[in-house]
A = this chain, B = another copy of it.
Amino acid sequence: MERDMDQKAVPTNRHTRPHRLEDVTRWDIDTDVAVIGFGAAGSCAAIEARVAGADVHIFEVASAPGGSASWSGGEVYVGGNGGTRIQRAHGFEDSTEDLCTYLMMAGGPGADAARVRLYAENAVGHFDWLEAQGVPFKGTYLPGKWIEPTTDDTLLWSGSEAAWPFSAKAKPAPRGHTAQFKGWGGGKILMEKLCARAEALGAVVHCNSRALSLVVDKDGSVVGVVARIEGETRFVRARKGVILCAGGFIVNREMVERFAPAALACTQVVSGGNDDGSGIRMGMSVGGAAIHMDQFFATIPFFPPESLVKGIFVNARGERFINEDAYHGRVGHYVLRQPEGKAWLLVDNEIFGRPVIQPDIEVAAVGETWEEVERELGLPAGTLVHTVAEFNRNAGNGQDPLFRKAANWLRPLTEPPFAALSYCASELKAHAFTMGGLHTLPSGEVLDADGQPIAGLYAAGRTACGLPRWGEGYSSGMSLGDSTFFGRQAGLAAARR
């Protein structure tokens, strides 16, 4: 769900300072595992903890379950192991090594090899598990380039797999698996199934329940949580652990300013509304280390129609800066960092269109020649013209020596009139969510700044820093894949403690 950055929730747990065990005079609820947040990570943590035999109480701040995931497209990024049953059915073999390589590249300089390895080796099993929980996947394949399917199809190309430099190092495969749902918003069905499953297994769900602070014993171990439940302060003992699954912090503008200021360039937040950073802050309050807090997903969905991918982006120097067939979020990050906040998508008459998501996009220049467009944009003489001429000359030969856009997106821009669609900062409607969060082991155990686990504290989903931790490397489905898979690990680890 997208909303304006300033339509933010006002975080009401502004003071997350931990509560000392010796100051707790009563326990209102006594459980093995307390899960904070009933979204993708929280539901899966609860399911696994229940299956492992633990008592589970879930505290969800909203009045209904599902979290931000229920407003999402419902895509899960899985593959490897020869392919999911759906990948294989459509002829896509997908090796674990290729998935691993892709995820390591996608993780950027801070990629977590142990986390990536665990995920890559178990992603197909995880997909099967999601189906076993009742999440429906139609099983069909939707070719082409989409943001999310508007059909109820399953499998799509949801990242930069087929784009340079990823394609040069890992054999591409489509890995976005979307829950069966007609139109945008498959997250709704995904979360309905996962939340229902957690409840069916006996997890006790408290909605309208805001976790306020963690309870710590004299050794610094987390032994419970203080929550505001239906307006009353309640003390919750968690004998095995507290799992923070409370989302990211994109709706908390103060936190964005403090930790991820570059994300302020995005006017739209991707959130169900409660990504106020409370989970991250509670974790930090007991010494948990937050990492990669500057990183965020940012996209400018310049397609569909996919014909626009055949256009070329240029900056104020009249130069290209990215292979336009990369994932739209990767393109978005490159657009955001261009000098003076200026970028345009150049198209010719044959591929002209308006992006579905921004049909009122400003056409900054039109001309019968590229010279006219260059002049109208006020670019240094000859710059854009040279860029287009060189692009056209190479594209005519099916080549893009500078940016290596894949051949199927290469076509000379030679049919007048020509146009430049504006992706300049002043008109940009970029969409963002945060990727930084608590530093955890793949098991979900939260680590302090020394790299030591904090006993009794776990985190998953966007409260943790997971697979998605580098804005430029994101692919659709990674956040849900990460949240559901590592939510499970945290639930298991806590239950077994």
Kindly state whether residue A285 has any CB partner on chain B within 8 Å.
yes
Kindly state whether residue A280 has any CB partner on chain B within 8 Å.
yes
**Cα A30 to Cα B258 with chains together (Å):** 35
> Which listed residue (B285, B402, B452) contacts A317, Cβ 8 A?
B402
The count of residues in chain A whose C-beta lies closer than 8 Å to any C-beta of chain B is 54
> For A258, what are the chain B residues with a Cβ–Cβ distance below 8 Å?
110, 289, 291, 439, 451
A285-B287 in contact (CB<8A): yes
A281-B386 in contact (CB<8A): no
> For A284, what are the chain B residues with a Cβ–Cβ distance below 8 Å?
284, 287, 289, 448-449
Mask: chain A, 250-276; 1 = CB below 8 Å from B; 0 = not = 000011011101101100000000000
> Which listed residue (B264, B402, B449) contacts A16, Cβ 8 A?
B449
Kindly state whether residue A144 has any CB partner on chain B within 8 Å.
no
B450-A15 in contact (CB<8A): yes
B382-A390 in contact (CB<8A): yes
> Which listed residue (B261, B291, B401, B448) contacts A380, Cβ 8 A?
B401
Q: Which residue of B lies closest to A288 (CB)?
A: B284
**Cα A284 to Cα B290 with chains together (Å):** 10
**Cα A366 to Cα B325 with chains together (Å):** 36
B280-A449 in contact (CB<8A): yes
Number of copies: 2
Q: Which of A15, A218, A265, A284 has the most CB of B within 10 A?
A: A284
B287-A452 in contact (CB<8A): no
**Cα A23 to Cα B219 with chains together (Å):** 11
Q: A258-B291, A281-B450 are known contacts. Are A264 and B15 too (CB-CB below 8 A)?
A: no
Kindly state whether residue A193 has any CB partner on chain B within 8 Å.
no
> For A295, what are the chain B residues with a Cβ–Cβ distance below 8 Å?
294
Mask: chain A, 382-405; 1 = CB below 8 Å from B; 0 = not = 110010001000000000011100
Looking at the assembled complex, report how far the CB atom of A163 sits from the nearest CB atom of chain B, in whole angstroms: 13
**Cα A291 to Cα B257 with chains together (Å):** 10
Q: Which residue of B lies closest to A286 (CB)?
A: B287
Kindly state whether residue A17 has any CB partner on chain B within 8 Å.
yes
Kindly state whether residue A109 has any CB partner on chain B within 8 Å.
yes
Looking at the assembled complex, report how far the CB atom of A181 sits from the nearest CB atom of chain B, in whole angstroms: 36
Kindly state whether residue A220 has any CB partner on chain B within 8 Å.
yes
Q: A17-B448, A258-B289, A284-B449 are known contacts. Are A386 and B386 too (CB-CB below 8 A)?
A: yes
**Cα A259 to Cα B228 with chains together (Å):** 33
Kindly state whether residue A2 has any CB partner on chain B within 8 Å.
no
> For A449, what are the chain B residues with a Cβ–Cβ distance below 8 Å?
16, 255, 277, 280-281, 284-285, 290
Kindly state whether residue A292 has any CB partner on chain B within 8 Å.
yes
**Cα A264 to Cα B165 with chains together (Å):** 21
**Cα A42 to Cα B265 with chains together (Å):** 37
- Give me 21 A-to-B residue pairs in the complex whose CB atoms sit less than 8 angstroms apart, sorted by A's number: A14-B452, A15-B452, A17-B448, A18-B220, A23-B218, A108-B261, A109-B261, A109-B262, A110-B257, A110-B262, A254-B451, A277-B449, A281-B450, A284-B289, A285-B287, A285-B448, A294-B295, A317-B402, A317-B403, A319-B402, A380-B401
> For A15, what are the chain B residues with a Cβ–Cβ distance below 8 Å?
450, 452
Kindly state whether residue A61 has any CB partner on chain B within 8 Å.
no
> For A17, what are the chain B residues with a Cβ–Cβ distance below 8 Å?
220, 287, 448, 450, 452
Kindly state whether residue A354 has any CB partner on chain B within 8 Å.
no
Kindly state whether residue A293 has any CB partner on chain B within 8 Å.
yes
Q: Which residue of B lies closest to A23 (CB)?
A: B218
